[in-house]
Chain A
Amino acid sequence: MKTVMAIIKPFKLEEVRDALTGLGVHGMTVTEVKGYGRQKGHTEIYRGAEYAVSFLPKLKLEVAVAESQVASVIEAISTAARTGQIGDGKIFVAPLEQAVRIRTGESGSDAL
């Protein structure tokens, strides 16, 4: 099992969700986050006070998937979240040791 974590532009969430649902991914966790990569921030001005805001709002998406699905999930997210503009985000993949469905006690890939 792997966890696929993707940082995406907020307005791309629905397209990404549709793409993953199409692959048979049954659930995901989404968090509102702030950060920066190559995309620079913006300036906010309140009367005389100017602030350079370098942390931009993004969404962090976490999906747990079986090994066999990793490549297609990465492909689906990449395609759905891409605008071609700077700031589209990144995808990180990490190994996942265990998964448990709390209600039934199922574990491993059965719990995904």
Chain B
Amino acid sequence: MLTTMPRRIVATTLMLTGSALPALADVAPVPNKGDTAWMIVATALVLMMSIPGLALFYGGLVRAKNMLSVLTQVMAIVCLAGLLWVFFGYSLAFTNGGALNDYIGGFSKAFLKGVDPNSVAATFSNKVVIQEYIYIVFQMTFAMITPALIVGAFAERIKFGAVLLFTILWSCLVYYPIAHMVWYWGGPDAIGDAAKAVATAADAAAKTAAQTKLDEVLADAGLIFKWGALDFAGGTVVHINAGIAGLVGCLMLGKRIGYGRELMAPHSLVMTMIGAALLWVGWFGFNAGSALEANGTAVLAFVNTMVATCAGGLSWLIVEWLAKGKPSMLGLVSGVVAGLVAVTPAAGVAGPIGSIVLGLIAGALCFVFVSYVKNAFGYDDTLDVFGIHCVGGILGAILTGILADPSLGGAGIVDYAAKPGEAAAGDFVMATQVLAQLKAVALTLVWSGVGSAILFKVVDLVVGLRVSTENERMGLDIAEHGERAYSL
């Protein structure tokens, strides 16, 4: 999908002189400044989701003695995942992986080999590209926040070294493969050009050759992408992926000392509210930025992200009010996050009213999950990474297959081969789409669930997962980092 393109100085000169004007279709597209500007802003917004957004959202929910451990873990993961992405993560996620291409990319762009300021990446529109550098960093911010989400599940008891080692291993063996499987494809122009060659083939032999080439282009994509699953901004790649890893992690580390007996109230819901609000703002970069262009799809994702979140927040608040007697601030912000998670895969394909329905269901479902289901099973997912991100993510992924239906106000699916060079509406069959969504969810759950279990075991054997009882009682801030969050 990505090509390094020399500056078209020659072509420009020819056009200016008016002689030997090349056919329009042959002129390689150049990035639009509006798209570039938007993607730079969106990328910075997604970073803000992790730091300080997620760090404060999580940090406020732990006890004061563990505040710095959460902040440190989140920020260190961001730094680590950023470097890994440049070293080989981007290449493993977004290049052709040869024989393993269904599952993972290769090392052809390791250390960003061959990428320069003129390199471009495909978007979702024919003849529209963005600079590859901004595409790399935009995708990097997703690779940063996903492992950072996981640490909420086993907060207040994991060793810092274990977090770092797990982040390295999990990025390589879970995140890059899942990102590749869901998001790697040839791009509109590769498909459009190959389809045009089929349409314009002069004779039967040429047609067969062109068809073979088109099939190759269509096959050069990740497994889940080829199943036809829709994941606009990362419902599977980010939220289900991190959520199931978190559940596995909290089961393998075990409950915190005193869980269910001692008071473990959040130390600052004020911080949590600030963090959740920053997440919400940053999520516009995450979802609307995933359009990769400053266009109609981006603003559709923007409005969906806004209204699904409003619905999610109110839904949790009201259901909690009815069930528990009081509408809590923590419930409100939890519903906001549940709405954001659920709308993520649907952001650019559902309609606004469908997104509101999605948000309403997400808030209520996640409330029931963290308030009743979690207690029934008795696992200690400290900050409800599974109950909100995985459950909300699964709901969003499945409902995306329904809400994308044009008859329900959705955007349907795009066929880049039907009318070469144009984004034509594909045949949308809801049952087929929902099945593809279910397969994507199932594969992500199994891959990340099993993969994480193996990796947590490896980390346990190498450095140990859990701090000593004494250090857990003392708090990770002093025990692991030698400092206190608050000196009052």
Chain A residues in contact with chain B, CB under 8 A? Answer: 44-49, 51, 53
Contact of B334 with A45 in the complex, beta carbons under 8 Å: no
How many angstroms between the C-alpha atoms of A68 and B372 in the bound complex? Answer: 61
Q: Is the CB of A47 within 8 A of B384?
A: yes
Q: Which residue of A lies closest to B367 (CB)?
A: A47
**From B388, which residue of chain A is reached at the shortest CB distance?**
A47
Contact B263 A45 (CB under 8 A): no
Query: In the complex the two chains form, is B331's CB within 8 Å of A47's CB?
Result: yes
Partner of B266, one of A46, A48, A53: A46
A53: B residues at CB distance < 8 A: 263
| A57 smallest CB distance to B (angstroms) | 14
Closest Cβ of chain A to B186, distance in Å, is 44
Can you add 4 more A-B contacts, CB < 8 Å, to A46-B266, A47-B384, A48-B372?
A45-B328, A46-B265, A49-B264, A49-B265
Contact B265 A51, beta carbon cutoff 8 Å: yes
Q: Contact at B330–A46, with CB atoms within 8 Å?
A: yes
Contact indicator B370/A48 (Cβ below 8 Å): yes
Q: Which of A47, A51, A53 has the most CB of B within 10 A?
A: A47
Question: Would you mind naming 22 contact pairs between A and B with Cβ atoms under 8 Å apart?
Answer: A44-B265, A45-B326, A45-B328, A46-B61, A46-B265, A46-B266, A46-B328, A47-B330, A47-B331, A47-B334, A47-B370, A47-B384, A48-B370, A48-B371, A48-B372, A48-B374, A48-B375, A49-B265, A51-B263, A51-B264, A51-B265, A53-B263
Task: Name the B residues within 8 Å of A46 (CB-CB).
Answer: 61, 265-266, 328, 330
- Bound complex: CA A46 to CA B372 (Å): 12
Name the A residues within 8 Å of B61 (CB-CB). 46
Question: CB-CB < 8 A to B324: which residues of A?
Answer: 45
What residues of B have a CB within 8 angstroms of the CB of A47 in the complex? Answer: 330-331, 334, 370-371, 384
Please indicate the chain A residues that have their CB under 8 angstroms from the CB of B266 in the complex: 46
Minimum CB–CB distance for A54 against chain B, Å:
10
Interfacial residues, chain B to chain A (CB-CB below 8 A): 61, 263-266, 324, 326, 328, 330-331, 334, 370-372, 374-375, 384
Closest to A55 in B: B263
CB-nearest residue of chain A to B328:
A45
Q: How far is the CB of A72 from chain B (nearest CB, A)?
A: 37
B297, chain A: closest CB distance, angstroms = 34
Task: Enumerate chain A residues within 8 angstroms of B264, measured Cβ to Cβ.
Answer: 49, 51
Which residue in chain B gives the minimum CB-CB distance to A51? B263
A25 to B264, CA, bound (A): 42
Compute how far the CA of A53 lies from the CA of B375 in the bound complex, rounded to whole angstroms: 19
Q: CA of A10 to CA of B245 in the docked complex: distance in angstroms?
A: 46
Whole-angstrom distance between the alpha carbons of A47 and B366 in the complex?
10
Give the docked Cα–Cα distance between A53 and B371 (Å).
Answer: 19
| Nearest CB in chain B: distance from A76 CB, A | 33
A60: min CB distance to chain B, Å: 19
Contacts of B375 in A (CB 8 A): 48
Q: How far is the CB of A73 from the nearest CB of chain B, in Å?
A: 32
Q: Considering the chains assembled together, what is the distance between the CA atoms of A48 and B378 in angstroms?
A: 11
Q: Which residues of chain A are near B374, meaning CB under 8 Å? A: 48
* Bound: A50/B381 CA distance, A: 15
B152 CB to closest chain A CB (Å) equals 12
Query: CA of A64 to CA of B374 in the docked complex: distance in angstroms?
Result: 54
The answer for the CA separation of A44 and B61 in the assembled complex, in Å, is: 14
Taken together as a complex, chains A and B put the C-alpha atoms of A49 and B256 apart, in Å, by 14
CB contacts (< 8 Å) of B326 on chain A: these are: 45
> Given the complex, which residues of B lie within 8 Å of A48, measured CB to CB?
370-372, 374-375
B-chain residues with CB within 8 Å of residue A49 when the two chains form the complex? 264-265
- In the assembled complex, the Cα of A53 lies from the Cα of B326 at a distance in Å of 16
By beta carbon, the residue of chain A nearest B369 is A48
For the complex formed, measure the closest distance between the CB of B271 and the CB atoms of chain A, giving whole angstroms.
14
Q: In the assembly, what is the distance between CA of A72 and CA of B235, in Å?
A: 70
Q: How far is the CA of A48 from the CA of B372 in the complex (A)?
A: 7
Give complex CA distance A66, B150 in Å.
63
Closest-CB distance, A18 to chain B (whole angstroms): 29
Name the residue on A nearest B266 (C-beta): A46
Q: Which 10 pairs of residues, A with B, have the shortest CB-CB distance? A: A48-B371, A47-B370, A48-B370, A48-B375, A51-B263, A48-B374, A45-B324, A46-B330, A46-B265, A46-B266
